[in-house]
Chain A
Amino acid sequence: MAVVFEKTKGLTDVETHYCPGCTHGIIHRLVAEVLEELGVLDETIGVAPVGCSVLAYKYFNCDMHEAAHGRAPAVATGIKRVRPENFVFTYQGDGDLASIGTAEIVHAAHRGEKISTIFVNNAIYGMTGGQMAPTTLVGQKATTAPYGRDEKHCGKPIRIAEMLATIDGAKFVERVTVTSPAHVRKAKKAIKECFQVQLEGKGFGIVEVLSTCPTNWGLTPVEALKWLEDNMIPYYPLGNFRRPEEVVSSIQK
């Protein structure tokens, strides 16, 4: 019988802890497939965050380092400076990267640190039970914003991709989502291009992936996908914000 799909070697056989309908699973698979396809899995060191993907170190089939909340880019910096020949990535959520870890991500990008970051933005703190994140939309309810996020009280949600795109050291910045097969394909292409930027020694790269949290949004998985498309994409536009031209040409080949 012809094999039409095989699970990537980039993931372990461990069952994940993610909630039904959460898109972390898809994003994990894309990262792992890209690592395998680029032939770098055996030389990869991943850095896991604190938050929903805290256990990512059990799921990626490569050397992993579990960081403190928000500090993954600093940990990755330490690893990459010691082992420049290895491929180093961080996998972080929006509480981790966009709140407590803003200094670390901004300065890793600013130094042009040759690491790649997968930034999963689901507009909420999932692991701790649905608290407001810096990325929570105005009016969106959270356990610490029970009346909905009030712009006058806590400002508008932070747009990480746009902010990092202003930094010279950030050579690749793109925002994608995984709400449909077409979006999944585009997301994978962006991740591959981002990782290529590191492999070619060009500097820092980040892919922001808009993701769902059916559990804490109080929606079914299908409703959550629609909610993301209707509410998050208008505020967090998809697309590429930065790319080095040479990388584009090598990917298009």
Chain B
Amino acid sequence: MAKVLMKGNEAIGAAAIEAGCKYFFGYPITPQSELPEYMARELPKIGGIFLQAESEIAAINMVYGAAGAGARVMTSSSSPGISLKQEGITYIAGAELPCVIVNIMRGGPGLGSIQPSQTDYFQATRGGGNGDYRVVVLAPSNVQELVDLVIEGFDIADQYRNPVMILGDGMIGQMMEPVEFKKPKSRDLPEKDWATTGTGGKRKPNIINSLYLEAEELEEHNKKLQAKYNTIKENEVKVESYNIENADVVIAAYGTTARIAKTAISQLEKEGYKVGLIRPITLWPYPYDEFEKINDKCKGILTVEMNTGQMVDDVKIAVKGKYPVHFYGRTGGMVPTPGEIVEKVKKIYGGEI
């Protein structure tokens, strides 16, 4: 299939439809509204349903119902709206249902701004709602990768019966790039024999539920969830790394920020600096092991984010105190420039920080 030029938010919709998603429940919020608008336009053409809910809370609970009924289903929002969805997300995780949730992040806290940011890293990677649970968090850094991850995200969700979150920032949602729609790697997906379809008089009732009143039962349920999360950690880590075997400084960055870091790295290389990159593509499960491959002489790690320092905690966990971990971030909708990153790397080189 030939490449087409698409805006990130619309490409998400096209990828979801390509993956067989026929149901979308949403609520408007900047900077992601092109996605529900795209679905409102396209889903009726394929016999699907787009429904604008009365709130983000209602939208995610509609997703909960639709996922329970066995459908591939998506919702999307941006930071404050994702906070409202956390109630539904924890129920979906607890009841072990598959769905894909898109967060096109904007500045916070509170109403914050409508400018791009990466301030929901903590919320996304630590579950977000109440209880011990995780969602698989996929962080694309270009529109092609966004499309690939949305398509694969539905398979991951179905394979593990778990919510998958696409975590992008306002920039990736708004930028236009050429994309093609490719089939993801083939997976052995389980039958949805747990779905509420009506018994048809042929089986015992199926019950979708996250309530376990007996302490022993809930502990067992949590152990089962943790075992599943461990399997996901073993199978689903995605990371891109560059030159970490030789680099004197390694930058850790994801999403749009990683693209800016790449520009900074090529600038630094022209000046003779050896700089590597670790770009987590899955933020949960986090590619901790990748940091083991960094060479022993590395002077330090620089984490770059569009927030005041969130992924930097995971970088510290990953390097186990072996290297100094530095942080550079812009926030509130401000975007780090390659020049700012170059300057910071040079300071680490010179032992100034």
- With contacts A45-B198, A71-B57, A74-B61 taken as known, whether A82 is within 8 angstroms of B66 at the C-beta atoms is yes
Determine if B205 is an interface residue (Cβ-Cβ < 8 Å): yes
Closest chain-B Cβ to A54's Cβ sits at a distance in Å of: 7
Chain B residues within an 8 Å CB radius of A60 = 205
**Interchain CA distance A68-B68 in the complex, whole Å:** 14
- With contacts A78-B25, A78-B73, A79-B68 taken as known, whether A62 is within 8 angstroms of B61 at the C-beta atoms is no
Chain A residues within an 8 Å CB radius of B222 = none
**Interchain CA distance A87-B197 in the complex, whole Å:** 10
Stretch from B206-214, B311-319, B328-336 that touches the partner: B206-214
Determine if B348 is an interface residue (Cβ-Cβ < 8 Å): no
Determine if B229 is an interface residue (Cβ-Cβ < 8 Å): no
**Interchain CA distance A60-B205 in the complex, whole Å:** 9
Closest chain-A Cβ to B60's Cβ sits at a distance in Å of: 8
**Interchain CA distance A79-B71 in the complex, whole Å:** 9
Closest chain-B Cβ to A41's Cβ sits at a distance in Å of: 8
| B211-A64 in contact (CB<8A) | no
Complex: chain A residue closest to B90, CB-CB = A68
Determine if A76 is an interface residue (Cβ-Cβ < 8 Å): yes
Chain A residues within an 8 Å CB radius of B198 = 42-45, 62-63, 83, 86-87
Determine if A53 is an interface residue (Cβ-Cβ < 8 Å): no
| A71-B69 in contact (CB<8A) | no
Determine if B255 is an interface residue (Cβ-Cβ < 8 Å): no
- With contacts A62-B205, A64-B196 taken as known, whether A78 is within 8 angstroms of B66 at the C-beta atoms is yes
| B200-A81 in contact (CB<8A) | no
Determine if B235 is an interface residue (Cβ-Cβ < 8 Å): no
**Interchain CA distance A81-B211 in the complex, whole Å:** 25
Complex: chain B residue closest to A48, CB-CB = B209
Interface size class of B (residues with CB under 8 A): 35 or more
Tell me which residues from 67 to 107 in chain A have a Cβ below 8 Å from any Cβ of chain B: 67-68, 71, 74-83, 86-87, 103-104, 106-107
Chain A residues within an 8 Å CB radius of B69 = 45, 78-79, 82-83
| B199-A63 in contact (CB<8A) | yes
Determine if B29 is an interface residue (Cβ-Cβ < 8 Å): no
Report which of A41, A43, A65, A107 forms a contact with B54, defined as CB distance below 8 A.
Answer: A107
Determine if A227 is an interface residue (Cβ-Cβ < 8 Å): no
Chain A residues within an 8 Å CB radius of B197 = 45, 63, 83, 86
Closest chain-A Cβ to B16's Cβ sits at a distance in Å of: 15
Closest chain-A Cβ to B116's Cβ sits at a distance in Å of: 30
Closest chain-A Cβ to B124's Cβ sits at a distance in Å of: 20
Determine if A57 is an interface residue (Cβ-Cβ < 8 Å): yes
**Interchain CA distance A77-B63 in the complex, whole Å:** 9
Chain A window 28-62, contacts with chain B (Cβ cutoff 8 Å), 1 for yes, 0 for no: 00000000000001111101000000110110111
Determine if B159 is an interface residue (Cβ-Cβ < 8 Å): no
Closest chain-B Cβ to A31's Cβ sits at a distance in Å of: 15
- With contacts A63-B196, A79-B196 taken as known, whether A57 is within 8 angstroms of B65 at the C-beta atoms is no
- With contacts A61-B205, A82-B69, A107-B58 taken as known, whether A66 is within 8 angstroms of B210 at the C-beta atoms is yes
**Interchain CA distance A87-B196 in the complex, whole Å:** 11
**Interchain CA distance A71-B95 in the complex, whole Å:** 15
Closest chain-B Cβ to A162's Cβ sits at a distance in Å of: 21
Main secondary structure of the interface of A (DSSP, over half): helix
Chain B residues within an 8 Å CB radius of A77 = 51, 58, 62, 65
Chain B residues within an 8 Å CB radius of A65 = 64-65, 68, 196, 207-209
| A68-B87 in contact (CB<8A) | yes
**Interchain CA distance A57-B210 in the complex, whole Å:** 12
Tell me which residues from 248 to 267 in chain B have a Cβ below 8 Å from any Cβ of chain A: none
| A64-B207 in contact (CB<8A) | yes
**Interchain CA distance A110-B158 in the complex, whole Å:** 33
Closest chain-B Cβ to A53's Cβ sits at a distance in Å of: 12
Closest chain-A Cβ to B61's Cβ sits at a distance in Å of: 4
Closest chain-B Cβ to A11's Cβ sits at a distance in Å of: 11
Report which of B58, B59, B66 forms a contact with A79, defined as CB distance below 8 A.
Answer: B66
Report which of B57, B61, B207, B209 forms a contact with A78, defined as CB distance below 8 A.
Answer: B61
| B199-A74 in contact (CB<8A) | no
Chain A residues within an 8 Å CB radius of B160 = none
Closest chain-A Cβ to B351's Cβ sits at a distance in Å of: 54
Determine if B325 is an interface residue (Cβ-Cβ < 8 Å): no
A-B contact pairs, 16 of them (CB 8 A): A44-B198, A54-B211, A58-B207, A62-B205, A63-B205, A64-B206, A64-B207, A65-B65, A65-B208, A66-B211, A74-B65, A82-B69, A82-B71, A86-B197, A104-B58, A107-B53
Chain A residues with CB under 8 Å of chain B are 41-45, 47, 54-55, 57-58, 60-68, 71, 74-83, 86-87, 103-104, 106-107
Known: A58-B207, A63-B197, A74-B65. 7 other contacts (CB 8 A): A43-B198, A65-B208, A66-B211, A74-B61, A78-B63, A78-B68, A107-B58
The 9 closest A-B pairs by CB, nearest first: A78-B65, A74-B61, A78-B66, A75-B65, A78-B62, A43-B198, A107-B54, A71-B61, A63-B196
